[in-house]
Homo-oligomer: A and B are copies of this chain.
């Protein structure tokens, strides 16, 4: 058994190679540029962890993990085009550096490359892995489209938002774990539980992310807070506030969002606090985390094999900032 951190190092070293041919450089250098930034590689490591819960790590898991990470990076490159984002993690995005058309093709070819790694799988699980990969990939596209749709809608229900966030971010975490589990020979019941663990953990993480952007300590959070509020971004906090505030507060909230006063963040935060959005969000996060851990508990393997995923959950969620 390996810890999360050991697997991050192990996978990071294996993934840190060239993934594309040299030529044509105009197509493949942008892809190498984007992949060279590194990162925690959480999704592929979750695939390895899902595998190791049931067996020693199978060589095919590295192929699947690589496919997952390439797919994730493909979505980031295309998302950045759609969001017209100039920077990601402080670096110039692919479309800013190389143009939108090349970024579009760089994403396309990165997705194809992901399927090349999937095609390296030998044996009985190939069809099942590709089916889950495809289903998840479609759901991620659905989530991104719903995100685009929601931006234009004046009112979005919290339930609809949770569905969108789940498709856009959680299902890939869930499927990463399950693909590893499949390769480890896990039963269907165990596969379902590990998937639900990942899905609920992902939603808990997103609730926390929204919370920290509003209420986090900027020094510990590592970036300025209030960004979502300034952009009127639909978050767990805003959607809940709009659902629970009284008519008067709701009017004030909408006015502040429209008028963008200098003290917008302060004003929105005080409305959030007045209707206890902060406490609600912490409870919501705990609810999803508890559901995740219940599914982890229900997986029929010895509890010592669950330790690494428990640690991962606490690493992702119980951050004190």
Contact = CB atoms under 8 A, between A and B. Distances in A.
Given A27-B141, A145-B24, A145-B27, A116 B134 contact: yes
A215 B189 CA distance: 67
Contacts of A105: 78, 82, 141, 144-145, 148
Contact of A102 (B111, B116, B126, B148): B148
Contacts of A100: 82
A109 B141 contact: yes
Nearest to A135: B116
Interface of A: 24, 26-27, 78, 81-82, 100-102, 104-105, 107-109, 111-113, 115-116, 119, 126-127, 130-131, 134, 137-138, 141-142, 144-146, 148-149
A175 to B, nearest CB: 13
27 contacts: A24-B142, A24-B149, A26-B145, A26-B146, A26-B149, A78-B104, A78-B105, A81-B104, A82-B100, A82-B101, A102-B148, A104-B104, A105-B144, A105-B145, A105-B148, A107-B108, A108-B108, A108-B111, A109-B138, A111-B112, A112-B137, A112-B141, A115-B115, A115-B130, A115-B134, A116-B131, A119-B131
Contacts of A127: 119, 126
How many monomers of this protein are in the complex?
2
B138 A130 contact: no
A144 B24 CA distance: 11
Contacts of A144: 105
> Which 8 A-B pairs rank lowest in CB-CB distance, beginning with the nearest?
A27-B145, A82-B101, A109-B141, A112-B137, A119-B130, A116-B134, A26-B149, A105-B141
A134 B119 contact: yes
A109 to B, nearest CB: 4
Nearest to A129: B119
Given A115-B115, A141-B27, A145-B26, A82 B108 contact: no
B138 A113 contact: yes
B146 A24 contact: yes
Given A112-B141, A119-B134, 20 more contacts: A24-B146, A26-B146, A27-B141, A78-B104, A78-B108, A81-B104, A82-B100, A82-B101, A82-B105, A101-B148, A104-B104, A105-B148, A108-B111, A109-B137, A109-B141, A112-B134, A112-B138, A115-B115, A115-B134, A116-B134
A105 B100 CA distance: 14
A83 to B, nearest CB: 9
A130 B113 CA distance: 12
A81 B144 CA distance: 18
